[in-house]
């Protein structure tokens, strides 16, 4: 059908293919989601009263290089007091309370991960993703009001609500990519969209540092990032749709191309019900869960607590903290593409199998960063060495996108969305545990206390890596296509459910959304 009227005008104005519009707005969606997720890590350093310790243990706390005399220390405390009284109230929250508040987001995030994936399957990725991020954006903008009226309790509740909204983001994008992107373009789109997470990790701390410098009001951080999320939602609603066939101003050429190539991928056949009883008994999937927990334990510790380490231990000022906190994610973003290219090259040249590649880059993104994190903890007050080692650790974590992040597509290509939501949802529990645990382990913010926290990260990263090296897999599992593989020897749990076939139903052309009858 030839486009006419306003549909033709929009198609001519937005002259790039509509799947690339989806990719660009997807990048901004991930960037927005991560700026809203991590902004509290910066602002909490300015929301709390910085109490001066009555005791100084030599060798365990770092001196503030900007203060060279007792007079300057007194002046700094006096100036800080003036800023507190001129601006918003600050709160007397101890380290354990701060850790609890930093983990609040993940309570909501974990709960809506799997339901979000199921909602996206039923109602379409556009609205599941869009409304989820709109909820997070509005809640972010309302954070200062929640803190004013509810204190720590209000902040905890509003952060849980933000987590609710972001839970469906990853599974919804997996579904949208399956419906919009041909197999030959998926690596490119995956890097484009999910790379937005690191863009958010880069700009979130950096912009927060600029807004908070020189006594800036910490509420402005929430207003800016919440407002950007609301603006993104308006563009998303107008320009993006759940399927090519439901898009009102996609060109006939692009629609025909996607109908031909996406349908041919085999991802849109009518699947049997999700084989949960086989999935829950699948050792490779549970090993993948453990590997994801290990990665998230280290990753969430970095994105949540690294700004506190730079500010409270290494004594960077707030603007420097924003910049230093952004540098590791620039390295991670760059190296994720380098590792992905190397992995794809080795698999294409048959230098190693897919399973071997996943194990190599799981080790690169787990055990190698663990070593650099420990070295950073022993660098003491040498700020250059500590920052350099943390940058190196996050650079090697870029291997995650060539290993654990995509392993669900290897072992269960037909049920990758469900398995990905299952793995990511459980692994995100690390986001609940790590901030609170770090708060308990570092009540006085000494180097020795932080070293214990980093040794905990080391143990989890290396331990889960070893488990994955022994039992991980890159092969399709039998339950993902039981008609092809059959049941394994010794299976005693009955046959898997099969979809009912209506023999009288007319055959219709697939609409590229997993179901030929879908109307989204």
What is the model's pLDDT at position 153?
Answer: 93
For residues 235 and 250, what is the distance between their CA atoms, to the nearest angstrom? 16
- What DSSP state is assigned to residue 450? H
Stronger pLDDT, 292 or 403, i.e. the higher one: 292
> Contact at 8 Å (CB) between 372 and 466?
no
Share of the chain above pLDDT 70, in %: 84
Q: For residue 123, is pLDDT > 50?
A: yes
Average pLDDT over residues 41-53: 76
> Contact at 8 Å (CB) between 435 and 456?
no
What is the model's pLDDT at position 213?
Answer: 83
For residues 69 and 281, what is the distance between their CA atoms, to the nearest angstrom? 64
Helix 447-471 to helix 354-377 angle (10° resolution) is 170
Following DSSP, what letter does each residue of 356-416 receive, concatenated? HHHHHHHHHHHHHHHHHHHHHHTSTT-HHHHHHHHHHHHHHGGGGGGTGGGHHHHH-STTH
> Contact at 8 Å (CB) between 275 and 497?
yes
**Helices (H) then strands (E): counts for the chain:** 21, 0
Average pLDDT value for the chain: 82
Give the phi and the psi of residue 315 in degrees, each rounded to 5: 60, 35
Q: 92: which 2 tokens?
A: 């007397």
List, for residues 161-215, the tens digit of each pLDDT value. Answer: 999 999 988 888 877 887 887 766 766 677 778 878 889 988 888 888 889 887 7
Q: For residue 233, is pLDDT > 60?
A: yes
Architecture of domain 18-50+90-248: Up-down Bundle (1.20)
Of the candidates 234, 160, 222, 288, the residue with the CA atom closest to the CA atom of residue 35: 222
Give the phi and the psi of residue 91 in degrees, each rounded to 5: -120, 145
> Contact at 8 Å (CB) between 218 and 212?
yes
What is the model's pLDDT at position 364?
Answer: 93
For residues 75 and 96, what is the distance between their CA atoms, to the nearest angstrom? 29
- Encode 165-197: b = buried (16+ Cβ within 10 Å), e = exposed: bbbbbbbbbbbbbbbbbbeebbeebbbbbbbbb
Burial of 493 (0-12, 13-18, 19+ CB in 10 A): exposed
pLDDT band, very low/low/confident/very high, at 367 (cuts 50, 70, 90): very high
Lowest mean pLDDT segment, chosen from 155-169, 407-421, 479-493 = 407-421
Of the candidates 466, 464, 457, the residue with the CA atom closest to the CA atom of residue 377: 457
List, for residues 124-169, the tens digit of each pLDDT value. Answer: 889 999 999 999 999 999 999 999 999 999 999 999 999 999 998 8
Q: For residue 89, is pLDDT > 60?
A: yes
What is the model's pLDDT at position 270?
Answer: 67
Owner of token pair 């349908």: 263
pLDDT band, very low/low/confident/very high, at 502 (cuts 50, 70, 90): low
Lowest mean pLDDT segment, chosen from 106-115, 267-276, 381-390 = 267-276
pLDDT band, very low/low/confident/very high, at 501 (cuts 50, 70, 90): low
Average pLDDT over residues 109-129: 85
What contacts 266, CB < 8 A, 6 or more positions away?
none
Owner of token pair 């509509």: 18
What is the model's pLDDT at position 174?
Answer: 77
Radius of gyration over alpha carbons of the chain, in Å? Answer: 24
pLDDT band, very low/low/confident/very high, at 52 (cuts 50, 70, 90): low
Pick the CATH number of 274-481 from 1.10.260.40, 3.40.50.300, 1.20.1250.20, 1.10.10.1100: 1.20.1250.20
Q: How many CA atoms lie within 13 A of 437 on its CB side?
A: 16
For residues 225 and 200, what is the distance between their CA atoms, to the nearest angstrom? 10
List, for residues 456-468, the tens digit of each pLDDT value. Answer: 999 999 999 999 9
Stronger pLDDT, 61 or 305, i.e. the higher one: 305
Domain borders along the chain are 18-50+90-248, 274-481
Of the candidates 63, 51, 22, 321, the residue with the CA atom closest to the CA atom of residue 176: 22
Hey, do 18-50+90-248 and 274-481 end up sharing a CATH topology, with the first three levels equal? yes
Lowest mean pLDDT segment, chosen from 110-119, 151-160, 187-196, 293-302 = 187-196
pLDDT band, very low/low/confident/very high, at 406 (cuts 50, 70, 90): confident
């Amino acid at each position: 059908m030839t486009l006419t009227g306003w549909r033709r005008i929009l198609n001519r104005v937005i002259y790039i293919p509509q799947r690339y519009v989806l990719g660009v707005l997807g990048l901004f969606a991930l960037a927005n989601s991560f700026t809203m997720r991590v902004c509290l890590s910066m602002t909490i350093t300015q929301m709390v009263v910085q109490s001066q310790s009555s005791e100084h243990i030599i060798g365990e706390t770092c001196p503030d290089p900007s203060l060279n005399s007792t007079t300057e220390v007194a002046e700094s405390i006096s100036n800080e007091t003036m800023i507190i009284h001129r601006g918003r109230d600050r709160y007397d929250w101890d380290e354990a309370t701060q850790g609890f508040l930093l983990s609040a987001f993940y309570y909501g995030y974990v709960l809506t991960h799997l339901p979000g994936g199921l909602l996206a399957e039923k109602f379409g990725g556009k609205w599941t993703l869009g409304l989820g991020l709109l909820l997070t954006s509005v809640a972010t903008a309302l954070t200062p009001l929640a803190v004013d009226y509810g204190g720590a309790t209000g902040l905890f509740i509003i952060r849980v609500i933000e987590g609710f909204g972001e839970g469906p983001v990853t599974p919804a994008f997996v579904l949208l990519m399956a419906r919009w992107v041909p197999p030959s373009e998926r690596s490119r789109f995956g890097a484009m969209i999910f790379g937005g997470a690191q863009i958010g990790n880069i700009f979130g701390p950096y912009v927060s540092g600029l807004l908070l410098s020189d006594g800036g009001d910490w509420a402005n951080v929430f207003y800016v990032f919440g407002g950007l999320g609301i603006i993104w939602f308006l563009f998303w609603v107008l320009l993006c749709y759940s399927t090519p066939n439901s898009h009102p101003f996609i060109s006939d050429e692009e629609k025909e191309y996607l109908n031909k190539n996406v349908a041919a991928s085999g991802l849109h056949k009518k699947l049997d019900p999700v084989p949960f009883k086989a999935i829950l008994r699948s050792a490779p999937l549970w090993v993948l869960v453990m590997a994801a927990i290990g990665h998230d334990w280290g990753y969430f510790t970095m994105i949540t607590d690294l700004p506190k380490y730079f500010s409270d231990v290494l004594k960077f000022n707030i603007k420097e903290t924003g910049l230093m906190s952004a540098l590791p994610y620039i390295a991670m973003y760059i190296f994720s593409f380098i590792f992905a290219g190397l992995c794809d090259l080795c698999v294409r040249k048959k230098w190693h199998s897919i399973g071997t590649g996943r194990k190599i880059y799981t080790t690169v993104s787990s055990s190698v960063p663990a070593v650099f994190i420990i070295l950073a903890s022993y660098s003491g007050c040498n700020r250059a060495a500590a920052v350099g080692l943390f940058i190196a650790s996050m650079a090697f974590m870029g291997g995650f996108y060539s290993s654990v992040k995509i392993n669900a597509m290897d072992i269960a290509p037909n049920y990758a969305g469900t398995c990905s939501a299952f793995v990511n949802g459980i692994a995100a529990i690390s986001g609940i545990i790590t901030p609170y645990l770090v708060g308990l382990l570092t009540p006085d913010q000494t180097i020795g206390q932080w070293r214990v926290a980093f040794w905990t990260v080391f143990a989890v990263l290396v331990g889960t890596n070893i488990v994955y090296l022994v039992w991980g897999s890159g092969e399709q599992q039998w339950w993902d296509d039981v008609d092809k593989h059959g049941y394994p020897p010794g299976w005693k749990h009955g046959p898997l459910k099969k979809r009912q076939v209506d023999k009288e139903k007319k055959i219709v052309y697939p609409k590229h959304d997993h179901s030929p009858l879908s109307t989204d």
